[in-house]
Structure 1
Amino acid sequence: MDIQTIIAQVSAALADAPEKLQELISDPKGTIEELTGLEIGEADLSQIVDGVKNGIADGSLDLGGIDLGSIAGNLGGMLENGPLGGIADSLGGLFGKK
């Protein structure tokens, strides 16, 4: 399966079950593997995470069923060195925070 297809599958799963975003933040590899049924390598993981982050940042991923402000506010330093490092900024940007 190509990366764009995986990104679309993960994005669709997050749109259907927005609470999975919290799982994606805490365990990106495990959550993506759970959602897709595929084993994901580190290089692929980075590309998939970037694709999902871009979907969140540009608003194409509808997460209307979840309080993104709460998630962004509770992330703290947890993500600074992880593959989802920029997601807190993306989420905060949706709500006018910097």
Structure 2
Amino acid sequence: MSISQSEKLKLIRDSERLKSKEVADLIGLNYSTYHGYEVGKAKMSMEAGMLFFKHPRFRKYRDWFMFDETNPATGQIAPALSLSELDGTTSTQFDLKNG
């Protein structure tokens, strides 16, 4: 089950221990615009998403945010506070085998 875009943004921000204003400043968006994404007043545009996930601090959450998938071997993870980790499930198409 996928969670909303706004909830995912909040989980990422909380996992990084940032305030909404700090995220907006890091990615170069107006605070009101970014805050609107987090509270669900607007959907994040492609351009805003690119700004968000180009930032090195947030790039690791890209696959989880877009596809509900993780792949730790390639650095793609879910936020530490994500619901998938809280309930013990993961949503990944990659199975890592011990060699």
Q: Give TM-score scaled by structure 2 length.
A: 0.29
Greater RCO, 1 or 2 (C-alpha within 8 Å, sep 6+):
1
Q: Give TM-score scaled by structure 1 length.
A: 0.30
| Bigger Cα Rg | 2
